A and B are shown apart, each in its own frame.
Chain A
């Protein structure tokens, strides 16, 4: 089992979701987060007071998958989120120790999908 965390641009979320559904990945947690990578944010000014290098809005997706779905999920995220511009984001893949479905108390791979 793996936990896939992806940081993407907010306007790519719809496209990523679409690609995930096409790959039969229907479970995800979505968060709105702030951050920036190499690209700095945009300056903001309030009554002349400058805020430099502000953090940009990003979307963080978390998807828990079984091994057979790891590559499919990664490819779907790339397909939906890639624009070729700086700031397209990152995908992190982590080992997942355990997964429990609360309703039935099932554990492990069966509880994921």
Chain B
């Protein structure tokens, strides 16, 4: 579990490179610092009060304040979460999920958000969106958990939650300058591929680690995670080949990430063959979202957070309701294809609730911060790039 925790920690820097490669040269440091500062801020927030709000044995809305500053969160196991690992290990493992979730949203408003506004929005978002939703789905007494919603490693809590907030933020902050002119090109695709590799690697900790033990269930999660990523990466490459004439690196990397997203909620409940189906379908859905729906509606979700994470997450959550099987995990449930249509409806409800809640609260947070300090950078700063104007740094030199 210590190693799984370290793997999930590495996903946020991995995400930084995945996103960093896709933005312009003048904004790469901005992406990196946003990811790294979240690693710092949310780590502290989690220890101070985030863990208590998300996982405290509260009732209903969130976990309450009993575990503030890790009071009572010791080195003995807390049986309701895991009978075998120290409570603090569970806490720090979950911390890495709390870190990467807001970091996912960065891709939507890339290249135009003021750093100060970013920090405030993210602290509020972690507190009022992530922590409650995390409590509902995973916390003791969380109402979606009580209802039987299945989310093995965070399809709802992480991907749908962040993905829908990303769509809303992209719409509220408006398009980047020059977005109408042409697609803004990735400045360093090898970075993006490096990030994809780190994400794939870290995702084994994310999904297999969610078994909270080195057991058969962890192995199943590990196998289906790799299988879905492979199927989705391959599918996207084929779609590219058919519709855009050539298979592309960015497409293959995007597909792999979409596959990882989709298998996340299902990893502990489905078989390897189901994982192939989930992976193939997710690339089809996400491809439609980013190459057809996005241009049609004209929103500037810069790095396709909604198109990959939200759409992939929703498909994954629903697919869990289709493909889940007690033969894989006796503690889980059967899905629609295994004779239990009710599970599919429970999954659908969990998706809708998360989408609605995240939309409403994200909207309030954004508007509040925008009233107090403008969220978007001035036009001159956007032209010069955020690296120079927000951080007084340059990623690359032209002349030594």
Contacts and interface: CB of A to CB of B under 8 A. Distances in A.
Interface of A: 9, 11, 14-15, 32-34, 42-46, 55-57, 85
> In which size bucket is the chain B interface?
10 to 19
Contact of A85 (B177, B380, B394): B380
Contacts of A32: 398
Contacts of B177: 11
A19 to B, nearest CB: 12
Contacts of A34: 398-399
14 contacts: A11-B178, A14-B181, A14-B182, A32-B398, A33-B398, A42-B384, A42-B389, A43-B392, A44-B388, A44-B393, A45-B392, A56-B384, A57-B398, A85-B380
Residue picked from B177, B380, B392, B398, most chain A C-beta under 10 Å: B392
Interface string B380-394: 100110001100111
B209 to A, nearest CB: 36
Given A46-B393, A55-B399, A57-B398, 15 more contacts: A9-B383, A11-B177, A11-B383, A14-B178, A14-B181, A14-B182, A15-B181, A32-B398, A34-B399, A42-B388, A42-B389, A42-B392, A44-B392, A56-B384, A57-B26
Contacts of A46: 393
Interface in B355-400: 380, 383-384, 388-389, 392-394, 398-399
A102 to B, nearest CB: 28
Interface string B22-35: 00001000000000
Contacts of B178: 11, 14
A33 to B, nearest CB: 8
Residue picked from B177, B178, B182, most chain A C-beta under 10 Å: B178
Contacts of A42: 384, 388-389, 392
